[in-house]
Amino acid sequence: MSAPHREAQGSAAAPLTAARDGGAAADVLQILETAVGGHLPLRLECWDGSSAGEATAPACIVFRSPRALRRLLWSPNELGLVRGYVSGDIDFDGDIFAILNLPDVIDQVAHHSAIGLGWRERWGAVRAASRLGALGLPPEPPAEEVRRRRGVLHSKARDAASVSHHYDVGNDFYRLVLGPTMVYSCAYWAQPPSATFSVDDAQRAKLDLICRKLGLKPGMRMLDVGCGWGSLAIHAAEHYGAHVVGITVSAEQADLARQRVDAAGVGDVVEIRLQDYREVVGGPFDVISSVGMAEHVGQSRMQEYVEILFDALRPGGRLLNHAIASVRALPPPAKGRPGFIDSYIFPDGEVLPLSSTLDAMEHVGFEVRDVEALREHYALTLRAWTANLQREWPAAVASVGEARARTWLLYLAACVLAFERGHLTIHQVLAVRQGDGGASRLPLTRGAWLQEG
């Protein structure tokens, strides 16, 4: 992270003494380079005041205590480094993007490649750790790490627990990161970021884009699956006269969404339910939106998910599914080696290739009419959220604690690079449940139906 944030966060360890060559840093840097399989153009400092690497490098990793190295020995992979950073045993000095943008590192993480030490390399690392006094029992993982999960994968109870881990960390914290729009999904940058067009403007543009794609008109009934803090539901009611049911399994989201609905004066036409998508009643709906929700569904339940939405939609109705996707099918993480995102951010989350989602939609009877990729838009959105968090760092730490704030900074910055480099993307898919005789009720051109409303 940047130096001001490093100072703001502080550390229980004693401050580093003047750097000198050799010492622990040379051994630790060699271990890191072995783990990633190549040279790392960075500077490394250690608890004994030693330094190694490139003196003029834009990024520096700081191992603040022997426990940092011990974490890496017991988990010689991405997770060990994350545990060290989240716990404060490892720090970044300089631009966090410079750290994460090291050659090949983010590429390997994105592709679930092997970052770590084989048994032969691990034995060499153990010998080095012995010389440095870093051997010992495995340190406890940070409290923010998800432990053993109970229940069947993507059962209602387990999904609710996974969603709660991510979303029920405090609405005030999310407000610091997301801004006043409280929209936690890719914004739509109708113009480049500037002093006159912020992430809040881009989020409002995204909400409006969704409403226009759905062809909302006064009196239409809309189901918003994974409604978050109610921003889309409120926008649809205020600007398009829609009657909206929003559902979420996050209790904190539902509470604040209801408050925001009342404050906006649309409580008579917007209902927020604490409800799983498998429990939806009250259809059929004229349109359905699913924004940032499908990532929680999972491959094994995707067809069931879209079938439920199909059944809840009237003939001729539209579905807009807005979801992150992998650019190509990814291999699963190595067994017994959960990655950072699964362990700290989105337990049980699954990012599927677009083809899997489209296949499920078409299998249940949807007609896919439009797909728009917004990859670069999400990179810009994530950079804006990262900047918000860095700017509001003291307040964020006061809200959720330093360890959780660190997990979020690491998560947001890593996702920026994943989208910029093209490992992840995001799509808005517009699909129709055909009416009688195959009617779609869509105008003939995209330009025409984007002007609806």
pLDDT at 452: 67
Higher pLDDT among residues 436 and 371, named by residue: 371
Give the distance from CA 390 to its chain's centroid.
17
Q: Band of the pLDDT at 16, cuts 50, 70, 90?
A: very low
Per-residue pLDDT tens for 245-296? 999 999 999 999 999 999 999 999 999 999 999 999 998 999 999 999 999 9
The span from the CA of 315 to the CA of 402, in Å, is: 50
Per-residue pLDDT tens for 41-70? 889 999 999 999 998 888 899 999 999 999
Per-residue pLDDT tens for 113-138? 445 677 777 788 888 889 999 999 99
| Nearby residues of 319 by Cβ (< 8 Å), 6 or more positions away | 287, 288, 289, 290, 306, 309, 310, 313, 361, 366, 429, 430, 431, 432, 433
pLDDT surpasses 50 at 4: no
pLDDT surpasses 60 at 6: no
Higher pLDDT among residues 444 and 189, named by residue: 189
How many percent of the chain have pLDDT more than 70? Answer: 89
- Helices and strands in the chain, H and E counts: 19, 12
Cα dihedral: 392, 397, 403, 407 (round 10): -20
What's the chain's average pLDDT? 88
The span from the CA of 431 to the CA of 443, in Å, is: 14
pLDDT at 337: 58
For the residues 355-376, what does the mean pLDDT come to?
A: 97
Assign domain 156-450 to its CATH architecture.
3-Layer(aba) Sandwich (3.40)
Per-residue pLDDT tens for 296-350? 999 999 999 999 999 999 999 999 999 999 987 666 655 555 678 888 988 888 8
The one-letter amino acid code at 227 reads C
Q: Where are the domains of the chain?
A: 3-132, 156-450
For the residues 369-394, what does the mean pLDDT come to?
A: 97
pLDDT at 17: 34
pLDDT at 110: 46
Per-residue pLDDT tens for 193-238? 999 999 999 999 999 999 999 999 999 999 999 999 999 999 999 9
pLDDT surpasses 50 at 109: no
Overall pTM surpassing 0.85 (yes/no): yes
User: Which tokens belong to 171?
Assistant: 């609405």
Match 């590429």 to its residue by tokens.
Answer: 107
pLDDT surpasses 80 at 21: no
For the residues 429-442, what does the mean pLDDT come to?
A: 89
pLDDT at 20: 42
Phi and psi at 380, nearest 5°, equal -65, -40
Of 9-18, 80-89, 132-141, 228-237, where does mean pLDDT reach its minimum? 9-18
For the residues 171-184, what does the mean pLDDT come to?
A: 96
Q: Band of the pLDDT at 22, cuts 50, 70, 90?
A: low
For the residues 85-103, what does the mean pLDDT come to?
A: 87
pLDDT surpasses 90 at 72: no
